Amino acid sequence: MSRLHGQKRKQTDSNSPAQSLTEHERVLYNVIRSKQDMGIWTRDMKRETNLPDNVVNKSLKVLQAKNLIKEVVNIQNKGRKHYMAMEFEPSKEITGGAWYVDGNLDTEFIQILKEQCTKQIYKLKVATLEGVTDSIRRSGVLNVELTKQQIEEIVKALVLDDEIIEVKSNGMGEFASIPVGKICYKCIRKGSIGGEPKTGAMASIPCGVCPRMRQCTPDGIISPQTCVYYSKWLDF
Amino acid sequence: MSKTSVIRITSSQEFNVKQKVCECLLRKGPLPLHTIVRYTELSQMQVKNSLLVLIQHNCVQAYRIDETGGSQSAPKQSTQYLALFDNILHRVRFSKFLAIISQEFDKLCVDIVEGLLQHGRLTLKQIVERANSSHKEGNSIGVDAVQENLHKLVMAHYVEHCPASEPFLASPTEEDAPARKRGAKSAKIVIESEAIEQRVLAAAVPMEARRFSLVMDSELNDDGEKDQNKSPDKHVGDKRKLDASEPDIDSEAAENQVVLWRANFEEFIRRLRHKDCIENVRARLDDGAAIVLSAMLEASKTEEKKVKTASSVPLSVNSIYEEVIKSEKGRNMTFDHVRAALVQLSSPPPFVTVADESYSIDFKHIIEAAQSEEVESIVLKRYGRDAYRIFRLLSKASRLLETDKVLSAFETFKLKRYFRYYIFEKKETIKILYKLWQDDYLLMEKLVVGTATFLLWKVNKLVLWEHVLDELFHAALNLSLRVAYELEQQKEYPSFQDLISAAQHHLEDFPLAQESSTMQHPQPFNWKCIGPLRKLTLSNSIVMQQCPNEETWGCGGHMPRPPEVFPRLVLQARSSNH
């Protein structure tokens, strides 16, 4: 995946087909270009240039054919047609950042990263953000360069998954090598990595996971006596 | 909903009248006899008898107050009756209480406690009679043996003297009312009723020295009859019948030598609370830490004034070490090992706080963490993993931000930024937020700034915890109704032998169904025997006992076992002659 090699700016074309544009096309092209890596929505284009619809549409086709502009997916509004000058790469706002590919969340990539981070933190027992980043880089597992901020996003997601816990160092015991007050991360489960959080008591019975608890009454249409979830649970 | 659900759970057909009286008291608060008669539309005799039984079983406490109003010179005293909600609730926990006793003491002690739980209150004479009546063959059990075992239970505080039958309650002063920030009228009523209950209980409880005094009755000379006014006359095996004596007695006259004993629910709950803390620590850290924590609990439990205490008394490392080596599991731990465990326990996030070389357990933290885990587990199983993450995010945010204040606009923006930051997809996020809000797991507020409208979301723990508690009661009620239904259907259950074979077969495939601390990987298991096992439990043919993180299944039991909530299922078969 070319995305994994990072996002670079492409070189501007020196031999510019821009010279053979009509006036309308030029106006449109300039507007699109002025938005740089944010790009612009067709309706905004029409508003800014005050050009009639059919002119805009025709010009867009021409510009695209000449490889001067391209259509990009705006993650915030996938339904809208969004255009950008060829020389720019879509900004993080548009693409959703490193975690999106073709407008969709790259769950596989994220999952791999999460597992790697958890492994490193488990190995280190207690790790600061810098520690995790270094550890991952040194392990050479990934063929892509990730920034500290990207690792931070993964780590925060792991905290939410209850795989690791965020604490402040007190400088003692296992935190001895970490300055007091610095944020660091520990693994929660001492056993396997990537296991499920422990199921609570309530969640182990049908009522705990029932989407119809509110409607359930002893004598109602939905009741414990007639509950299909209970029947299934007891019968197997 | 919750309180009346509890009554339905704990009562059965024969107790309808008592159920009515109970419900009346729970709904309306403490009332005098004639008012109860009026509300329940029962006869005075029925209400009186119900009250006697309820008092006998520690579900109601009577007390006297000055009757205000009127221009009489001498203030009249009247007797009111207060329903003890917590004690009523404890009735579904009786099998758990018995399990605690059977782990710590021998069979005779278990019998004694079983009797106390069945009958509510007993004298020593009655305990002896009961013990002998259930031992038809062989030797009768001597008074000495019973007394000795009763001693053990009283020393451990599992059994206590009964409280005063009708303590006098002075009128409350201004300072007595606890200050709380909840302003709603209904909240005020709740606070008032809690305050009354606490005051009544405090007035009724015997002084500490007397409460667990080992002085036994000098009776066994037939002084039992003096007791007639104080408590209903009972014969062993005839636990619900009463005589028609008046319940209003002068407690001063009850200065007789007969001691009435009852189970001390407080101690059982404390023990369960401790067990839970130990298991939580074991799951988060390791066995060593659990042993040390257990020792700390043992050493400091006599100093615990109330059950819901926030932290234990501080202990030095030496006193902790001394307690550790007393226990069977901790016998081989070295001083350094204990010290290391203490460091581990006090490292962030700390279960134990350190101050001046003294360690005290932070109950508040351990329990809050366990409660959060329970609620998050519900969210995970009911709404999915993404909802779980969003819920945890908002819970943490609510902790960082002041929970009592509304989210300010600035903090809203921070939250919006968090959402993008945490790799969520926007549309899905909104859907989940709405679903959680609809089911009362989140609070939502609309903030209008100019032409833009922002939605603010937060988790309000105070409100949510009440809601989850309600759901727990509802689930408990459902479980008990389903049990009753299944029994009515009288479906056929597999024999216990069939189940043992099935369980053993299961164990052959997965031999690691043992102490959870030795389990390396979660085991998949044979679901086929789970259903029948559950059915058997619900039909009371087998007893479910709890070991750390396991269920073990055994045969037997005299008392009907109320349904239990099933923890994670790992099977270990026990022999049929348990």
Q: What are phi and psi of A166, to 5 degrees?
A: -100, 125
Contacts of B425 in chain A (CB under 8 A): 105
Residue (of A47, A132, A162) closest to B377 by Cα position? A162
> B482, A202: Cβ pair inside 8 Å?
no
Under a CB-based contact definition with an 8 Å cutoff, are residues B379 and B386 in contact?
no
B285 and A CB contact within 8 Å: yes
**Which residues of chain B are in CATH 1.10.10.10 domains?**
3-85, 266-361, 379-462
Q: What is the DSSP letter of B377?
A: H
pLDDT by residue for chain A (236 residues), tens only, comes to: 444 444 444 444 444 555 678 888 888 888 888 888 888 888 888 888 888 888 888 888 988 898 888 888 777 677 788 888 888 887 776 776 667 676 666 778 888 888 888 888 888 888 888 888 888 888 877 767 778 878 888 888 888 888 888 888 888 778 888 888 888 888 876 655 556 677 888 888 888 888 888 888 888 889 988 888 888 888 74
Q: Is A141 on the interface with B (CB under 8 A)?
A: no
pLDDT, residue B495, reads: 54
What are the tens digits of pLDDT across the range B173-191? 654 445 444 445 555 556 6
What's phi and psi for A163, nearest 5 deg?
A: -85, -40
At the top level of CATH, the class of B379-462 is mainly alpha
Among candidates A170, A192, A224 on the partner chain, residue whose Cβ is nearest the Cβ of B482: A224
pLDDT of residue B113: 94
Q: What DSSP line would sit under A95-131, residue for residue?
A: H-GGGEETTEE-HHHHHHHHHHHHHHHHHHSEEEHHH
Helices A53-65 and A23-34 pack at an angle, to 10 degrees, of: 80
User: What CA–CA distances, in Å, run from B138 to B127, B128, B134, B141, B417?
Assistant: 18, 15, 11, 9, 77
Return the pLDDT at B267: 92
As a whole number of angstroms, the distance between CA B361 and CA B276 comes to 13
Query: What residue type is B403 in one-letter code?
Result: T
Please tell me the distance from the alpha carbon of residue B464 to that of residue B457, in angstroms, as a whole number: 13
Q: pLDDT 10s digit of each residue in chain B, 578 long?
A: 456 566 666 555 445 788 888 888 888 888 999 999 998 888 899 899 999 999 999 999 999 988 765 555 667 888 999 999 888 888 888 888 999 999 989 999 999 999 999 999 999 889 888 888 876 556 677 888 888 999 999 999 999 999 888 888 887 665 444 544 444 555 555 666 678 888 888 888 888 778 888 776 654 434 433 333 334 433 333 333 333 333 333 333 344 568 889 999 999 999 999 998 998 888 888 888 999 999 999 888 877 777 778 888 888 888 888 888 888 888 888 888 888 888 888 888 889 888 888 899 999 889 888 899 999 999 999 998 888 888 888 888 764 433 223 333 334 444 444 444 444 556 677 788 888 888 888 888 777 777 776 677 888 888 898 889 888 888 888 888 888 888 877 655 555 455 555 555 544 443 333 333 333 333 333 344 455 555 555 444 444 433 333 333 333 322 223 333 332 233 333 323 22
Q: Is the minimum CB–CB distance between A213 and chain B shorter than 8 Å? A: yes
B contacts of A227 (beta carbons < 8 Å): 478, 482
Closest-CA residue in chain A for B397? A160
End-to-end CA distance of chain A: 46
Which CATH topology does B266-361 take?
A: Arc Repressor Mutant, subunit A (1.10.10)
* Residue contacts between A and B (CB atoms, under 8 Å): 144
End-to-end CA distance of chain B: 40
Instruction: Tell which CATH classification among 1.20.20.10, 3.40.50.300, 1.10.10.10, 3.40.630.190 matches the domain B3-85.
Output: 1.10.10.10
Q: What is the pLDDT of residue B378?
A: 92
Give the residue among A112, A125, A117 at the shortest CA–CA distance from A188: A125
Nearest by CB to A202, which of B422, B475, B528?
B475
Determine the Cα–Cα distance for residues B469 and B263; give it in Å rounded to an integer: 26
B-chain residues near A177 (CB < 8 A): none
Q: What is the pLDDT of residues B414-470, one digit of tens each?
A: 444 444 444 455 667 778 888 888 888 888 877 777 777 667 788 888 889 888 988
In this complex, is the C-beta atom of B374 within 8 Å of any C-beta atom belonging to chain A? yes
Q: Enter the ipTM.
A: 0.71
Task: Give the model's pLDDT for residue B376.
Answer: 93
* Count of other CB atoms within 10 angstroms of residue B290: 24
Query: What pLDDT, on the 0 to 100 scale, is given for residue A202?
Result: 87
B423·A105 Cβ contact <8 A: yes
Cβ of residue B486 closer than 8 Å to a chain A Cβ: yes
Helix ranges, B249-316 (H) = 265-284, 287-300
Q: Are the beta carbons of B177 and B195 closer than 8 angstroms?
A: yes
Give per-residue pLDDT as tens, B14-52. 457 888 888 888 888 889 999 999 988 888 998 999 999
Q: What are phi and psi of B294, to 5 degrees?
A: -60, -40
User: How distant is the Cα of B381 from the closest Cα of chain A, in angstroms?
Assistant: 6
Compute the distance between CA of residue A20 and CA of residue A4 in angstroms, rounded to an integer: 36
pLDDT the model gives residue A8: 47
Percent of chain B clearing pLDDT 70 (strictly above): 63
Residue B118: name the closest of B23, B20, B8, B240 by CA: B240
Please tell me which of the candidates A170, A172, A203 has its beta carbon nearest to residue B381: A203
What CA–CA distance (Å, rounded) separates B433 from B311? 36
Domain made up of B92-171+194-212: CATH architecture = Orthogonal Bundle (1.10)
Tell me the residue type at B199: R
CB contact under 8 A, B565 and A202: yes
